Amino acid sequence: MFKYMEAELFCLHCNKNTNHVIFYNNDGKIIRIKCQQCKTEIELKDDFIAKNNGLLEKSFKITEDLISELNKFLFSIPIKILKSPSDFINKKN
């Protein structure tokens, strides 16, 4: 028996965000993703997941690092610039 959920994902065939159905096996692993608009299906095999697991972990780490750095950057901006950016731009020119 499969479990599934719906999500909005970017479809490479439609070239835009569309509704997808994500199918899981009994272990909770994704086995198939299907675009609801163009009906394209992507099937994930265990060997594909095993080969690309390190890549996925690295991409999540990079995303976490970017968010962390963005937070540091935003907290380092003076409050005056955030409150009135037009004043800052006018003074700079």
pLDDT for res 38: 95
pLDDT for res 90: 58
pLDDT for res 39: 95
Calculate the alpha carbon distances from 54 to 18, 45, 57, 62 in Å: 27, 16, 5, 12
3 state SS of 66? helix
Q: Output the pTM of the full model.
A: 0.49
Query: Could you report the per-residue pLDDT of 47-80, keeping only the tens digit for each?
Result: 666 566 566 566 667 777 777 777 777 677 666 6
Query: Could you report the per-residue pLDDT of 16-56, keeping only the tens digit for each?
Result: 999 999 898 887 778 889 999 999 998 887 666 656 656 65
DSSP 48: H
pLDDT for res 36: 96
pLDDT for res 37: 95
- Gap between the Cα atoms of 66 and 71, Å rounded: 9
Contacts of 26 (CB under 8 A, 6+ apart): 1, 3
